[in-house]
Structures are given as structure tokens and as C-alpha cells.
Amino acid sequence: MSVLLNSESRVLTQGLGGTGKFHLKGCREYGTKMVAAVRPGKGGTDWEGTPIFDTVGQAVAAEGCDVSVIYVPPPGAADAIMEAAAAGIGVIICITEGIPVNDMVEVQAFLEDVDCVLIGPNCPGVITPGQAKVGIMPGYIHKPGRVGVVSRSGTLTYEAVHQLTQSGIGQSTCIGIGGDPIVGTRHIDAMKLFNDDPDTDAVIMIGEIGGTAEEAAAAWVKENMTKPVAAFIAGKTAPAGKRMGHAGAIISGGSGTAESKVAALEAAGITVAESPADMGTAMIKAAEKAGLDLQAA
Amino acid sequence: MNIHEYQGKQLLRDFGVTVPRSKMITKASEAVAAAKELGTKVVVVKSQIHAGGRGAGAIVADEQEAARVFRANLEKEGLPKHNKPGGVQLAKSPQEAGEIAAVLLGGLLVTKQTGASGKRVNRVLIEEGIDIKEELYISMLLNRETGRHMVLASTEGGMDIEKVAEQTPEKIFKAEINPAVGMRDFQARDVAFALGVPAEKISDAVKFLKTLFAAYLQLDASMLEINPLVLKGDGTLIALDSKLSFDDNAVYRQPAMKDMRDSDEEDPREQQAAEFDLSYIALDGNIGCMVNGAGLAMATMDIIHHHGGEPANFLDVGGGADAGKVAAAFKIILQDDAVKAVFVNIFGGIMQCDVLATGVVEAAKQVKLSIPLVVRLEGTNVEQGRKILAESGIKVINATDMTDGAKKAVEAAGLAG
């Protein structure tokens, strides 16, 4: 089954500029059903065989899209998310980096009344290995399997996936939730999805400094999670008050530090990797503690 | 990005928020005339730097003294245990204002927030004296848990608000703003009553607070802090201080911000990096880092530390970096004299390892690289990338994974240092 995405998903691309085209192609080559694109004013034409529509509503009506991926530049990205939600798309994945926080405050309020899941913004996307890839991650490092991956970062997720694959451990679904202060899906939401997914046996969560999303997820895991969880937190050496690339990665007023996050995770029984090179082995250890041999599966 | 107090006050004034009358000067000779023009019995002479704690800070003679004062007094206690002139002073006459301005301008100001090197004072604000009845606190910022803007107010003005939150949380009043309707009158009234504004002046306070929130929102501020917010003898509010920082993602639609950037306040390497759309932050260590992706860049700093070294910087070359950008990144890292080794850690996704390798080779040749270079490549086109490095003739220490790379970089920096 996996979460959010499977081989039946019908994917719409919003924002067909250079980046959008490049990744539409990459996702199609992976085997994803990239069935439509939206570019206002270009409706009725196509790009390499993918039909283009003027509005998301038209694309949904004609192609039955249930997932949308957004590459629209920052000034129009918030609007693109709301358009997808209003048109009834169930899973909206926003790759765009650099959306103003005030725009996301409005998006979040808008989405409260709509039944959909937003992933991102400022994220690498979602992949269910062997079934569908929606986003900018390199597909070939992944391997179908039963470990869920959730992360705020892009390349650090690739690193974790690579370590798992190298150890012979496949992934059910990998969710890049994004590095911004306001994201549609947080660690805690991803944990709930994986906990309910019969095809996921264990989860690795990759967090970073800033905010309290990891702490919230840890508290939920402690009370509710039935599957083993491993984690890594990036940013132990980051100075306070500086934005470390991601708009959300900033330590302010002593909160959001790596230490406080690691402490909260460990208190919830989560196995935390000390070094980013140990993410894969931390997952194996966490599973062993629960009597699960991931490499045998 | 951050701006100076005088710039923040001008922005607030433009929105209609009550702030003291003032004049920014850059030469001490302008201070007497400025103070006379304001015409109040007392004027305040305020150093303009991008750091708090100015009043308790110290004007020092040189960088050695700055480091000494910072370490001895300020770092631990945050208290003014020094006999140096402070960064904010009262003047009882225009002449005195001139004398104080002469001390502050060109001086090196060290506060608990400047770090041990202090900050040079190039601008001074001469401001009218205000009839202060109560010193209050207000700030506006994003509540990341709820994704909504929030107003924090307290009667404990002039204090370190984090201490107030820790020791007497009941003295902090919070109001969360629904984005669909903005700040409502009743919310502003709640805040005004909580701050002790007298009943007959509540409607003035409501107008003041709503104007302040409008400024915060329309300027795309990531934080607006007024500490102290002053309740005057006549029962009205005035913003005696102003600390504003802005959402970097929204600078594109705030054209006024470009002119407010003070390059003296920013690390020159961070500015250069911004020109190439690179994310760079200078740190204190001796291992230069070049990484793609913010999360991996932080993790790379961590793994260097884990193996006993210290990173000299955070640098994210981004996902779509080309050879030119990689070369620019390389040069910025090497401008830091403290750097004794460079660790390139790349997990190629969209960024292809061969493109990265070409950029590294180009840059290494241009700058005639003389310190050890450790490279760990993984991901898209990794074999081509490794081949380019191997055939380039530049001396590269190859690493098989992150741990191997970090260990080799730490060792190389140690030997070089």
C-alpha cells in the first residue's frame, strides 16, 4: 500500500518552466503516471505528449489527477497550492523554495477547510520506491521495502536512503516534508501515516534545529507508535540566531537546539544516531530492539 | 535580514505608529544642532548597531579590550561590570550630546550580543527625551506551532523577555491572530488592558496596536519587538525602541529593504555568497566545508565536530549549482585565513557529480590551492566525477563516505595547523 503515493497515482505538474519540465521527465522515466500539466494560457497544447491545461480544475476533470506537484516560482506558489486544493487534489506536493511566510500563513488557513494533504513547501517531494516518484530526488538510490523515511532536508534524506539501501534495507515511502517554518505535513503527521500503513514496519525520522516539530513527534511516538523509530538531528554545531540555509533552521532564544531535540527523542524511546554516517545502523538497532530484522526482510 | 533602530523607527513612523522624534547623524559635529532642534531638556544619544544590549554595553579602545571586557563581564552575566562609557547615554544639554556623540561615533561597542569582537559605531541617533510612566514590552512574531502570527505583551518592559517568560510566565500576555480577519479590536483591547493602559486612553491604544500589527504584516517582518514600549504620563503609548527583522523570502516584494541593508554589519564573505545565490555562514573553526543541501551541510559540520575538528563555515551550494557557482563557493571558503583544509561533501541528486568535479578543478587551479582538499562524492554521475578529479592533476584526498571524509579532513587540518 505505502502512503500518499502508489503505482496508481495520477500526477499533475503545476509550473512547467525549465525545472518543471526537467523533473516531469525524470518522474515519467521512473514510471510515474505524469498525466497532465497546468500552464495558464497554454491549455490545449502538450509538452512531450503530456497534455497542458489552463487551470487545475480542467486538468482534474479531464485526467482524473489525484496528486499534484508544484514548481511555480515563489510569488505564485501559494496561489498554486490553493488552486490545487480547491480543485479537489488529495495530495499536493510543493517543491518551490522561498515562499514568504505570510503567504504560507494564508495557505494554512485556507487548507483548514479543505480535505487534502500538503507536503512541503521547500521539499524534495515523495517517493514510493518501485511504484512512483514525485519530486526532485534521484530515484535510483532507493529500493522498494518496508522502512518509512521522513525528513526536513533533501540531500540528507538521500544520504539516509543510500545508507539503508547499501545495508540491503528497502523503503516503503520517503517523505521530504520541507525546511520552512510552516509546512503542510509535519513529522508528527508523517508518523501517523506510517503507523497506520500495513506496508511499513519501521520509520527513520530526520530532523534539524529550529522549531519544536521533532519534540511534538517524539511525544506522539511515545504514546502511540507501535513500530520502531530511529532518528537523526542535524545542526549540533550551528550557532544561535543564524539561519542555516533552510528558513526554518534557526535557533532562537535557546529553543530549537539539537540537544533539546535529541533529549526529547531519546526520552520517547527513539534510537538517535550520533553521527549522520550512522543513520542506517541506528535504524537497524532500533528494529533489533523491537525484535525485527530489517535486513532479513 | 536585520536593520538599524533608526531605520525601523522611520518605517513605523511612515505607517503612523507613534515613535519619538529623532535625528540620525554620522558626524559628532552634527549632534549639538540635532539636540537643539529637538528642543527637549534631555536627549538620548544612541549607538546604531545590529545588536541588542547597547545601554549595558561598553565603548572600548580596541579589539583586545573588547575581547577582555566581553569575556570578563558580559558573556556570563550580561551585566555592565565595566567602567567604560555605555552605548546609549542621556545628555542634559546639546553640548553634552555633542560630547557623548564624539565618544560613541567611531568607537567599538561590545555588548552581550556583539560577540567578543564588538561592533564599530558609524551612526548615532539623537532622540527626544520622553516622559516615561511605565516601561512595557510588546513583540509580534510567527507561532510556528500553529502557523499563525502572535502578539506577546508584558508589563515587564526593559527586561530580557526570555527571562520573564521563564521566571514569571503569568506576566506575559499572548494573542493569536486569525489571518482571515487580522487583529480585531477586542484583541487590541485585551492587550491594552493587560498592559495597564488607563481606561480613558484605551481607544488610542487600540489604534496604536492595530497600526503596529499592520506594519509588522505589510513589511513582511519575521519579528517586530518594541522593548521598551512606553506608557507616557498622559496615558498614551510610544515605541521607544524598535527591533525589526525581515523574512528573507519576502525581500523581493519589499523594495525599500534593499536600501536598508548595512554592509558594515554583514560578513563580507556572506555578502559575496549572497551575490552568487549561495548560502554561507562564517564559523570559528579551520575546516572549510562545501556541501549541497542545507541539511547535509549542517550534518557535515556535525560530523567534523564529532571526529574532533571544527568547521570554518556552513556552505550550501544548492541543488542546481553549475561549475561557475562551485568555483565561486570555493574562492569564498578560501578567503578565510583560518581554513587549513577543505572538505567537499556532495550527494548528487539534481546536481551531477561531474559538474561539481569540473567546478572544483577549475577553482583549485584558479586559486592555486595550497591546502589539503578532501572530496567525498556520491550520487548521480559519481564515476565521471571521480574520473575528472583523478585526471585533473590537482592533489585530492578521496574519501569513501562521510565518516572517512570527516576523519581525513580533521587529520589534514591538524597536520597543517
Q: Where are the domains of chain B?
A: 21-128, 132-258, 267-416
- In this complex, which of A151, A208, A254 lies closest to B298 when CB atoms are compared? A208
Instruction: Read off the CATH number of the domain in which A43 is found.
Output: 3.40.50.720
Strands A202-208, B148-154: parallel, antiparallel or unpaired by DSSP? unpaired
Does B157 or A55 have the greater pLDDT score? A55
Active site residues of A: 246
B352 neighbors B380 (Cβ within 8 angstroms): yes
Q: Is the pLDDT of residue A297 over 70?
A: no
Q: Are residues A149 and A16 in the same domain?
A: no
The reply to whether B249 touches chain A by the CB within 8 Å rule is yes
Does some domain include residue A5?
A: no
Lowest-confidence region among A9-23, A69-83, B368-382: B368-382
Instruction: Read off the CATH number of the domain in which A253 is found.
Output: 3.40.50.261
B151 neighbors B182 (Cβ within 8 angstroms): no
pLDDT at B325: 85
As given in the structure block, the three cell numbers for residue B31 are 549632534
Angle among Cα B302, B309, B315 to the nearest 5 degrees reads 50
In whole angstroms, give the CA distance from residue B217 to residue B150. 11
Q: Are residues A208 and A250 in the same domain?
A: yes
pLDDT at B81: 67
Does some domain include residue A128?
A: no
In whole angstroms, give the CA distance from residue A250 to residue B358. 33
Which residues in chain B are closer than 8 Å to A249, comparing Cβ atoms? Answer: 294, 298
Q: Are residues A242 and A165 in the same domain?
A: yes
Helix axes A101-111, A74-86, angle to 10 degrees: 0
- The phi, psi pair for B3, rounded to 5°, reads -130, 170
Does some domain include residue A130?
A: no
A 10 A CB-CB count for A234 gives: 30
In whole angstroms, give the CA distance from residue B309 to residue B287. 7
Q: Are residues A166 and A251 in the same domain?
A: yes
Does some domain include residue A129?
A: no
As given in the structure block, the three cell numbers for residue B266 are 554583514
Beta bridge partners of A36: A12
pLDDT at B67: 87
Q: Do A247 and B298 touch (CB under 8 A)?
A: no
Which residues in chain B are closer than 8 Å to A104, comparing Cβ atoms? Answer: 147
Q: 3-state SS of chain B?
A: CECCHHHHHHHHHHHCCCCCCEEEECCHHHHHHHHHHHCCCCEEEEECCCCCCCCCCEEECCHHHHHHHHHHHHHHHCCCCCCCCCCEEEECCHHHHHHHHHHHCCCEEECCCCCCCCEECCCEEEEECCCEEEEEEEEEEEECCCCEEEEEEECCCCCCHHHHHHHCHHHEEEEEECCCCCCCHHHHHHHHHHCCCCHHHHHHHHHHHHHHHHHHHHCCEEEEEEEEEEEECCCCEEECCCEEEECHHHHHHCHHHHHHCCHHHCCHHHHHHHHCCCEEEECCCCEEEEECCHHHHHHHHHHHHHCCCCECEEEECCCCCCHHHHHHHHHHHHCCCCCCEEEEEEEECCCCHHHHHHHHHHHHHHCCCCCCEEEEEEECCHHHHHHHHHHCCCCCEECCCHHHHHHHHHHHHHHHC
Which residues in chain B are closer than 8 Å to A212, comparing Cβ atoms? Answer: 144-145
A 10 A CB-CB count for B400 gives: 10
- In this complex, which of B144, B281, B294 lies closest to A153 when CB atoms are compared? B294
Q: Using CB atoms within 10 A of its CB, is residue B116 exposed (0-12), middle (13-18) or buried (19+)?
A: middle
pLDDT at A252: 62
B348 neighbors B356 (Cβ within 8 angstroms): yes
Q: What is the DSSP letter of A33?
A: E
Which residues in chain A are closer than 8 Å to B298, comparing Cβ atoms? Answer: 153, 156, 208-209, 234-235, 237-238, 244-245, 249
Does some domain include residue A295?
A: no
Q: Would you give the distance in Å from CA B299 to the centre of its chain?
A: 22
Q: Which pLDDT tens digit goes with each residue over A209-247? A: 988 899 999 999 999 999 999 999 999 998 877 777 676
- In this complex, which of A100, A158, A182 lies closest to B349 when CB atoms are compared? A158
B353 neighbors B382 (Cβ within 8 angstroms): yes
- In this complex, which of B148, B300, B378 lies closest to A105 when CB atoms are compared? B148
Q: Could you tell me which chain B residue has the CA closest to the CA of A23?
A: B350
Q: What is the mean pLDDT of residues A9-30?
A: 96
Does some domain include residue A196?
A: yes
On whether the B132-258 domain is CATH 3.30.470.20, my answer is yes
Does some domain include residue A81?
A: yes
CATH topology of domain B267-416: Rossmann fold (3.40.50)
B366 neighbors B303 (Cβ within 8 angstroms): no
Q: Are residues A275 and A162 in the same domain?
A: yes
Instruction: State the virtual CA torsion across B294, B296, B297, B303 in degrees, nearest 10.
Output: 150
Active site residue B383: no
Lowest-confidence region among A97-111, A250-264, A276-290, B334-348: A250-264
**SS3 state of residue A53:** strand
Q: Are residues A69 and A166 in the same domain?
A: no
Could you say which residues from 270 to 289 on chain A have a Cβ atom under 8 Å away from some Cβ of chain B? 274-277
Could you say which residues from 43 to 82 on chain B have a Cβ atom under 8 Å away from some Cβ of chain A? none
In whole angstroms, give the CA distance from residue B336 to residue B285. 10
A 10 A CB-CB count for B317 gives: 28
Beta bridge partners of B120: B108
In whole angstroms, give the CA distance from residue B107 to residue B91. 18
Beta bridge partners of A171: A147
Which residues in chain B are closer than 8 Å to A98, comparing Cβ atoms? Answer: 249
Which residues in chain B are closer than 8 Å to A101, comparing Cβ atoms? Answer: 142, 220, 222, 247, 249-250
Q: Are residues A211 and A91 in the same domain?
A: no
Q: Which pLDDT tens digit goes with each residue over A156-176? A: 999 999 999 999 999 999 999
Instruction: Show Cβ contacts of residue B281 under 8 Å, excluding neighbours closer than 6 positions.
Output: A239, A242, A244, B270, B313, B314, B315
Q: Are residues A88 and A22 in the same domain?
A: yes
Q: Are residues A146 and A283 in the same domain?
A: yes
Instruction: Show Cβ contacts of residue B380 under 8 Å, excluding neighbours closer than 6 positions.
Output: A138, B348, B349, B350, B351, B352, B353
Omega within 30 of 0 (cis) for the link into A121: yes
Domain span holding position A209:
137-289
Q: Using CB atoms within 10 A of its CB, is residue B261 exposed (0-12), middle (13-18) or buried (19+)?
A: middle
Q: Are residues A87 and A55 in the same domain?
A: yes
Q: Could you tell me which chain B residue has the CA closest to the CA of A176?
A: B295
> In chain B, which residues have pLDDT < 70?
74-81, 319-321, 416-417
Helix axes B185-194, B202-218, angle to 10 degrees: 110
On whether the B21-128 domain is CATH 1.10.3720.10, my answer is no
pLDDT at B76: 60
Q: Are residues A265 and A196 in the same domain?
A: yes
Q: Which helix (H) or strand (E) holds A31?
A: none
Q: Are residues A24 and A72 in the same domain?
A: yes
A 10 A CB-CB count for B338 gives: 16
Does some domain include residue A254?
A: yes
The reply to whether A167 touches chain B by the CB within 8 Å rule is no
As given in the structure block, the three cell numbers for residue B112 are 552581550
Q: Which helix (H) or strand (E) holds A129?
A: none
In whole angstroms, give the CA distance from residue A127 to residue A189. 17
Q: Could you tell me which chain B residue has the CA closest to the CA of A26?
A: B350
Active site residue B137: yes
Tell me the Ramachandran region of residue A195: left when phi exceeds 0, alpha when psi lies from -120 to 50, beta otherwise. Answer: alpha
Domains in chain A: how many in total? Answer: 2
Tally the residues of chain B: 417
ipTM of the complex: 0.89
